């Protein structure tokens, strides 16, 4: 067996802090193996985690790693990718971190579709803090905060993340090893935002309360609950393990409507002296004229000078050529208005 993936682990920090039988170790190991197989290394790959037992993963990767505040893992990952698009950015975190306190970022980061890969250790519980119910806890589950059974329906992550193309959403479990490996690889090579929802076990603070004596019993339960679906899918049912993906539909930008105005010859325009121009200053119901490059324009209909603002119009009746030439988009603003004369 090729054990070179161990180069990507900080073995000097082992033994790790996770409980025996916890699924997080399997996530870490298989992600490290897939990263190694792709030939990625500490020269081009960054790992980012939030807070939680799962959030400890990046600290064990022999890569540049960021351990971010709870819920902010995606903001950090997206920032890194924006500043350094040449880097491979992988996120290793928990379902609580990514979908509860970090839920808003999940919505908007996935919408913006940065090329980052998220591995969500989905143990359906807040492990680190003692086994509280979270957004992914199945209805009816007895937890420390729902001793009579969780009353709410869980967040249907698979539905949420496959609503708007482009998307890549894979659901797998730590038990279905070959499928698990395939999902990790496909997600890493996907161009855009990819999310791997890895159903995993927290044997100590969820499993035991549910009546499981060993992690292996929990894995068998995953096998009963889920089945693998093969082939190209655009959505997954709640008990299906598979990959749902869709590429971006081509966006046709709305055509800009450009109204061609016939050019009025200078000579045919009414002549104005500067003194005559000064009279059109908007006071007493008079129109607002200004001059630009020898032409006189009527700005009376501009929304900038309606109502009370009209009386405060300090630009009216003036030759504004110098001012408009240095103003951003100045020319465009003037050309929208009718030319009523020429400056002589």
Q: Where on the chain is the footprint of ligand TPP (CB under 6 A)?
A: 51-54, 70, 94-97, 101, 121, 123, 125-129, 134, 202
Report how far Cα 50 is from the mean position of its chain's Cα atoms. 16
Give the one entry of ligand TPP, ligand SF4, none that residue 22 binds, where binding means its C-beta sits below a cut-off of 5 to 8 angstroms depending on kind.
ligand SF4
Comparing CB distances to ligand SF4, the nearer of 25 and 166 is 25
The answer to the question of residue 47 lying near ligand SF4 (CB under 6 A) is no
Q: How far is the CB of 247 from ligand TPP (least distance, A)?
A: 30
Which single residue is written with the structure tokens 């880097």?
A: 87
How many other CB atoms sit within 10 Å of the CB of residue 264? 13
When asked if residue 218 is in the footprint of ligand SF4 (CB under 6 A), the reply is no
47 binds, among ligand TPP, ligand SF4, none (CB under 5 to 8 A by kind): none
310, with CB counted inside 10 A (0-12, 13-18, 19+), is middle
Nearest approach in angstroms of CB 127 to ligand SF4 is 3
Residue with tokens 């999902």: 183
When CB distances are held under 5 to 8 angstroms depending on the partner's kind, the choice from ligand SF4, ligand TPP, none that residue 73 binds is none
Q: In this chain, which of 5, 18, 169, 219 binds ligand SF4, going by CB under 6 A?
A: 18
22 binds ligand SF4 (CB under 6 A): yes
Binding span for ligand SF4 by CB under 6 A among 15-23, 112-120, 185-193, 326-334: 15-23
Task: Give residues 191-210 in contact with ligand SF4 (rule: CB under 6 A).
Answer: 202-205
Q: In the complex, what is the shortest distance from the CB of residue 123 to ligand TPP, in angstroms, rounded to a whole number?
A: 5
Task: Give the footprint of ligand SF4 on residues 94-123 (CB under 6 A).
Answer: 123
Which of ligand TPP, ligand SF4, none lies near 203, with the C-beta cut-off 5 to 8 A by kind?
A: ligand SF4
Cα–Cα nearest to 135, from 173, 172, 101? 101
d(CA 172, CA 184) in angstroms, rounded, equals: 9
Q: What is the edge-to-edge ordering of all strands in the sheet holding 45-49?
A: 64-67, 45-49, 88-94, 116-122, 194-199, 167-173, 240-246, 227-228
- Applying CB under 6 A, does 127 fall inside the site for ligand SF4? yes
CB of 23 to ligand SF4, least distance (A): 7
**Which listed residue (53, 89, 174, 324) binds ligand SF4 by CB under 6 A?**
53
Token output for 156: 């249907």
The answer to whether the peptide bond before residue 166 is cis (omega within 30 degrees of 0) is yes
Toward ligand TPP, which CB reaches closer, 155 or 315?
A: 155
**CB-nearer residue toward ligand TPP: 49 or 300:** 49
Q: What is the smallest separation between the CB atom of 163 and ligand SF4, expressed in angstroms? A: 29
Pick the closest to residue 52 from 24, 33, 27 (CA basis). 24
| Contact by Cβ (8 Å): 225, 173 | no
> Is residue 277 within 8 Å of 315, Cβ to Cβ?
no
For the bound state, the minimum distance from the C-beta of residue 128 to ligand SF4, rounded and expressed in Å, comes to: 6
Q: 3-state DSSP call for residue 197?
A: strand
What does residue 136 show for φ and ψ, rounded to 5 degrees?
-100, 0
Q: Is 93 a residue that touches ligand SF4 (CB under 6 A)?
A: no
Which tokens hold the place of 124? 């359906």
**What does the block give as tokens for 337?**
């208005």
Strands (E) across the chain are located at 45-49, 64-67, 88-94, 116-122, 167-173, 194-199, 227-228, 240-246, 270-272, 289-292, 295-298, 318-319, 339-343
Interface residue list for ligand SF4 (CB under 6 A): 18-19, 22, 24, 53, 123, 127-128, 202-205
């Amino acid at each position: 067996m090729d054990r070179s993936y161990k180069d990507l682990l900080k073995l000097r920090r082992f033994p790790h802090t996770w409980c025996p039988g916890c699924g997080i170790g399997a996530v870490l190991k298989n992600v490290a193996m897939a990263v190694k197989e792709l030939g990625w290394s500490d020269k081009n790959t960054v790992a980012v985690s939030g807070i939680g037992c799962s959030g400890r993963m990046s600290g064990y990767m022999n890569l540049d790693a960021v351990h971010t505040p709870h819920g902010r893992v995606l903001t950090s990952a997206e920032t890194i990718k924006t500043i350094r698009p040449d880097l491979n950015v992988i996120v290793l975190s928990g379902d609580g971190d990514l979908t509860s306190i970090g839920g808003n970022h999940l919505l908007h980061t996935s919408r913006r579709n940065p090329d980052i890969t998220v591995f969500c250790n989905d143990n359906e519980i807040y492990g680190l803090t003692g086994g509280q119910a979270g957004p992914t806890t199945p209805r009816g589950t007895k937890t420390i905060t729902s001793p009579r059974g969780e009353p709410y329906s869980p967040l249907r992550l698979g539905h949420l993340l496959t609503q708007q193309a482009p998307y890549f959403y894979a659901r797998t479990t730590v038990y279905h090893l070959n499928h698990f490996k395939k999902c990790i690889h496909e997600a890493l090579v996907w161009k855009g935002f990819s999310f791997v929802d890895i159903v995993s076990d927290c044997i100590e603070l969820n499993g035991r309360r549910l009546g499981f004596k060993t992690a292996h019993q929990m894995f068998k339960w995953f096998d009963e609950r889920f089945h693998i679906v093969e082939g190209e899918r655009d959505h997954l049912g709640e008990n299906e393990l598979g990959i749902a993906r869709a590429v971006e539909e081509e966006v046709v930008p709305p055509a800009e409507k450009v109204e061609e105005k016939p050019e009025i010859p200078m000579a045919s325009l009414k002549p104005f002296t500067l003194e005559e121009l000064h009279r059109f200053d908007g006071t007493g119901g008079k129109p607002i004229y200004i001059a630009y490059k020898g032409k006189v324009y009527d700005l009376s209909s501009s929304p900038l000078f309606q109502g009370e603002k009209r009386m405060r119009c300090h630009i009216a009746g003036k030759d504004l050529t110098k001012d408009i030439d240095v103003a951003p988009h100045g020319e465009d603003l003037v050309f929208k208005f009718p030319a009523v004369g020429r400056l002589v």
